[in-house]
Amino acid sequence: MSKQNPQLDTQGNLKHFLTIEGLSRDLLTEILDQAEGFLGVAQQAVKKVPLCRGKVVANLFFETSTRTRTTFELAAKRLSADVLNLNISTSATAKGETLLDTLRNLEAMHVDMFVVRHATSGAAHFIAAHAHPHVSVINAGDGRHAHPTQAMLDMFTIRRHKQDLSRLRVAIVGDIMHSRVARSQILALKTLGVPEVRVIAPGTLMPNSIEESFGVRAYHDLREGVRDVDVVIMLRIQRERMNSALLPSEHEYFQLFGLTEERLSTAQPDALVMHPGPINRGVEMDSQVADGPRSVILEQVSNGIAVRMAVMSMCIGTQNLKIQPAGDADG
């Protein structure tokens, strides 16, 4: 495996997908290009391709998730893989079995890929470092660290509507400090050549020195932050932030940072509105925006299956098999 990046094999191909950090623009573009070819699978009478037939994919979700786990499961099944969903709450892990013990027992079942979501930052990296050499690991979200497939499905959605990323202004709004999604999105946007990335948040939810660390522009005023942008990505506000006094109340947050049509009016007329889901309506945005003509939130969900199919097929060693690309989106 490459010493430069543990996500790559000795030929420079994707072996694991743990973080956007350290991956090249060419590799991220390859993921997006591969995903284009998988969009059409959902329109087929039989929604399957045989690229991962005979492979076993284990979903290890130590944190609850419906949308991410379901789309990974669908992606694996559409690639014709066998899928094992481990219910952590009833597994031996709840009885005291270590993460490494769980890994070894699943490897004994000849699992080829682990899809891991864990509350601890670095958990997916730990599993990748200790897994058998033939096993691939995909990070489905670890602590505050990374959520790389969410970032890539967002990039895919943006590219299908805006094509030329090198001319875009993108704003990310919400809990920047605690969001693994925001971190991965910023890295992906910068790697793919987006010239201006803005982050918008209350002072209590904005990391110190983020402008210097990530090369973004920080705002504390929503209307000014989204002025003239081409894409607005809203982040989910966790209710525990209210309980920890980082935010006074959901109502007050919405009054200052909730996306409404009036606040969105300062953005470009054809600006996209995005959200990783699930939405807290009346907190991050109102329903008029969430269900409005500029929202591509449901499209993000559909695109997530194609992007995860691309990542899984590339990691598991079928990246040289090409699928006919689907047509471009309008807009």
pLDDT at 19: 98
pLDDT at 246: 74
Nearest to residue 319, comparing CAs of 17, 43, 47, 91?
17
Nearest to residue 188, comparing CAs of 158, 224, 160, 212?
158
Pick the catalytic residue: 10, 90, 95, 322? 95
DSSP letter for 259, please.
B
CATH of domain 148-297: 3.40.50.1370
Q: With pLDDT > 90 as the criterion, what percentage of the chain qualifies?
A: 75
Digit-coded pLDDT (tens) for 37-85: 999 898 888 889 999 999 999 999 988 888 899 999 999 999 999 999 9
Query: By the 8 A CB rule, do 170 and 196 touch?
Result: yes
- Whether residue 97 has pLDDT greater than 60: yes
Domain regions of the chain by residue span: 25-145+302-315, 148-297
Nearest to residue 198, comparing CAs of 162, 231, 167?
231
- Whether residue 11 has pLDDT greater than 60: yes
pLDDT at 232: 98
d(CA 57, CA 113): 5
DSSP letter for 235, please.
P
Label residue 159 by pLDDT band (50, 70, 90).
Answer: very high
Question: Chain-wide mean pLDDT for the chain?
Answer: 90
User: Does 68 count as an annotated binding residue?
Assistant: yes
22 Ramachandran zone, left/alpha/beta (phi>0; psi -120 to 50):
left
- Whether residue 2 has pLDDT greater than 80: no
DSSP secondary structure string for all residues of 176-202: TTT-HHHHHHHHHHHHTT-SEEEEE--
Pairing mode, strands 82-87 and 56-61:
parallel
Token pair 């049509």 is at which residue?
A: 261
- Whether residue 173 has pLDDT greater than 70: yes
pLDDT at 250: 84
The angle formed by the CA atoms of residues 175, 159 and 172, to the nearest 5 degrees, is 15
> Class of the 25-145+302-315 domain?
alpha beta
pLDDT average, residue stretch 150-179: 96
DSSP percent split of the chain into helix, strand, coil, nearest 5: 40, 15, 45
Residues 6+ apart with CB under 8 A from 330: none
In order of 38, 75, 78, 324, the CA distances from 47 in angstroms are 10, 10, 6, 15
Q: What are the structure tokens assigned to 85, written together?
A: 């969903």
Catalytic site residue 147?
A: yes
User: Does 178 count as an annotated binding residue?
Assistant: no
Pick the catalytic residue: 68, 71, 102, 157? 68
Pick the catalytic residue: 147, 169, 263, 294? 147
Label residue 20 by pLDDT band (50, 70, 90).
Answer: very high
**Topology agreement, domain 25-145+302-315 and domain 148-297:** yes
- Whether residue 330 has pLDDT greater than 70: no
Q: What are the structure tokens assigned to 206, written together?
A: 């904005």
In order of 199, 232, 233, 290, the CA distances from 295 in angstroms are 19, 10, 10, 6
Digit-coded pLDDT (tens) for 186-195: 999 999 999 9
Catalytic site residue 55?
A: no
Catalytic site residue 220?
A: no
